[in-house]
Amino acid sequence: MAVAADKGVVAATAGAPQGKQDKGKWTRFILPTYSALVMLYLILPIFIIVLYSFNYTSGLKVSFKWQGFSLHAYKELLSIPDLTSAVGNTLVVAVIATVIATVIGTLVALALVRYTFRGKQASDLVLFANIAAPEIVLGAALLSFFVSVRVTLGLQTIIISHVMFCIAYVAITVRARLSGFDNSIEEAAQDLGATPWVTFRLVTLPIIFPGILAGALLAFALSIDDFVITNFNSGSVTTFPLWVFGASRVGIPPQVFAIATIIFTVGVMLAATNIVLQARKGARERRSGILIRDANESETWSDAKTS
């Protein structure tokens, strides 16, 4: 019967019109080609920045004429005091905003997933409205708020602004991780005598940690390159995106490309490390599941043999 089925398939293929066969040959390349072009479009600007960060530049501005491989921009990385100060402000804001937004966003996600309370739907609406709203609207609204309460614009207002728009991204990311969480695991831990805090620290937190880490990385990436909201609420403080915007009017120094390359490389390394750690954790969980299954099967077989 298998031989007959194979002959039927061959006969059907042979009897198919030549036009359909030719169409099947070239249409299968459409999606891979389209995907490759999109990836090239996304990667090309970053590749140019990385490439020209190693270009030799004799002047104070970036030259897009290739003059030879050089580490001049990296050796003189801290030679512009204003740029160094701006990068320092950016890192301080990004780290503080990420920590605060991650803590608050995780708590918000836990509350939205596990509890039913008045205003829950409104909270969901506010989170998605925060993400959907244009940055210029958020920046202008925050500026109006700070002016109305007479808060001096500076580093503190930048941090508050970044925490505000990062919370929504963290909450939604952690909430997605919590959506498939098995509450029976926590109940089993409490049945064995664990307190709610011990259950959260030793059971819940390790399980949802990948979502928390992903939300924190997303918040850090959003904070470190934000321009519009920061421009509204920075006052006299300058961050790296604001400094680059100002320098672009007269000429960008090569150190900007070097710093951007370092930031991109660190981000890629963090993301790759997260992927590797999660892959190893998944492999350990699969091995543990196999061992537990084999042990259960062996115990069942022994009981059956004894009886």
Q: What is the CATH number of the domain that holds 128?
A: 1.10.3720.10
Distance, in Å, from the CA atom of 219 to the CA atom of 173, rounded to the nearest integer, reads 10
Using one digit for the tens of pLDDT, what is the confidence trace for 84-117?
Answer: 899 999 999 999 999 999 999 999 999 888 888 8
Q: Is residue 247 part of a domain?
A: yes
Q: Structurally, how many domains does the chain consist of?
A: 1
Q: Is residue 218 part of a domain?
A: yes
Domain enclosing residue 214, as ranges: 82-252
Q: Is residue 290 part of a domain?
A: no
Q: How far is CA 37 from the centre of its chain?
A: 22
State the number of CA atoms in the 13 A half-sphere of 226 facing the CB. 34
Please report the pLDDT score of residue 1 as a whole number.
Answer: 46
Q: Is residue 15 part of a domain?
A: no
- Cα separation values, 223 from 50, 100, 204, Å: 21, 12, 27
Extract the tokens encoding 306: 């004894």
Angle at 119 between CA 118 and CA 122, to 5 degrees: 160
Mean pLDDT of 214-240: 90
Q: Is residue 48 part of a domain?
A: no
| Run of H or E residues at 278 | helix 254-306
Distance, in Å, from the CA atom of 299 to the CA atom of 292, rounded to the nearest integer, reads 11
What DSSP designation does 153 have?
P
Please report the pLDDT score of residue 3 as a whole number.
Answer: 47
Q: Is residue 302 part of a domain?
A: no
Distance, in Å, from the CA atom of 299 to the CA atom of 287, rounded to the nearest integer, reads 18
Closest CA to 156 of 267, 240, 236, 213: 236
Extract the tokens encoding 176: 């997605």
**% of the chain exceeding 70 in pLDDT:** 84
Distance, in Å, from the CA atom of 261 to the CA atom of 56, rounded to the nearest integer, reads 16
Extract the tokens encoding 225: 């390159």
Name the residue with higher pLDDT: 132 or 65.
Answer: 132
Distance, in Å, from the CA atom of 204 to the CA atom of 186, rounded to the nearest integer, reads 7
Q: Is residue 187 part of a domain?
A: yes
Q: Is residue 281 part of a domain?
A: no
**Does the pTM exceed 0.85?**
no
Extract the tokens encoding 298: 């062996």
